[in-house]
Amino acid sequence: MERLTGPEGISIRALRSEDVEAVAAIEREAFTTPWEPRTFAGLLDRSGVELVVMTDATDAVIGYSVLWCILDQGELANIAIAPGFRGRGLGARLLEHVLERARARGVRKVFLEVRASNEAAHALYARFGFEEVGRRRGYYERPQEDALVLVAAIEPAQPDDPAPHSGDTPTHRTERRRG
């Protein structure tokens, strides 16, 4: 995967096994029903998954995202930025990268579920054209809350865009209730 570097030494790259504990630590701060480290570890090297980390100038992990890709559909299963780095446009930058990877794989629609009360996430997704297409009542626990189902259309890749990875179907789909 390409490594993108920008202002302040912020980069986006593929998750490595040595990043798993740092990712899981951010996950525990971001969600009340966090994925276990072994869940992230189990996703390493799966070709149907875009699993990326955002790092600072010292290569410390400050965010991550998980996108499942199945044929022309994607599902944003997880995205978080470490608390001290939120509100600086980094979530938008990470999501932009992930959606670009989806586009390069031939994904035409990306779905996600989000807590009805998660205003920061709603603002982020609205910026990228996600629209509500459904509601799952009582979907989340701790606290119990509805999930909104959002979808965004992805414009097809142009012929000179980077070639996509091979698109195996991911099989590891446990612990999906984010928020």
Ligand X SMILES: CC(C)(COP(=O)(O)OP(=O)(O)OC[C@H]1O[C@@H](n2cnc3c(N)ncnc32)[C@H](O)[C@@H]1OP(=O)(O)O)[C@@H](O)C(=O)NCCC(=O)NCCS
Q: Interface residues with ligand X (CB under 6 A)?
A: 30, 79-81, 86-92, 114, 118-121, 123-124, 127, 178-179
Burial of 36 (0-12, 13-18, 19+ CB in 10 A): middle
What are 74's two structure tokens? 């994607």
141 is catalytic: no
Q: How far is the CB of 100 from ligand X (least distance, A)?
A: 15
125 is catalytic: yes
> Of the residues 64, 113, 139, 140, which is catalytic?
113
**Nearest residue (CB) to ligand X, 81 versus 107:** 81
What are 48's two structure tokens? 């149907």
Whole-number Å distance between alpha carbons of 127 and 122 = 9
> Of the residues 27, 75, 125, 140, which is catalytic?
125
**Nearest residue (CB) to ligand X, 107 versus 147:** 147
Q: How far is the CB of 163 from ligand X (least distance, A)?
A: 28
**Nearest residue (CB) to ligand X, 96 versus 161:** 96
Q: How far is the CB of 125 from ligand X (least distance, A)?
A: 8
Q: How far is the CB of 75 from ligand X (least distance, A)?
A: 11
What are 136's two structure tokens? 């799952």
The residues carrying an active-site annotation are 113, 125
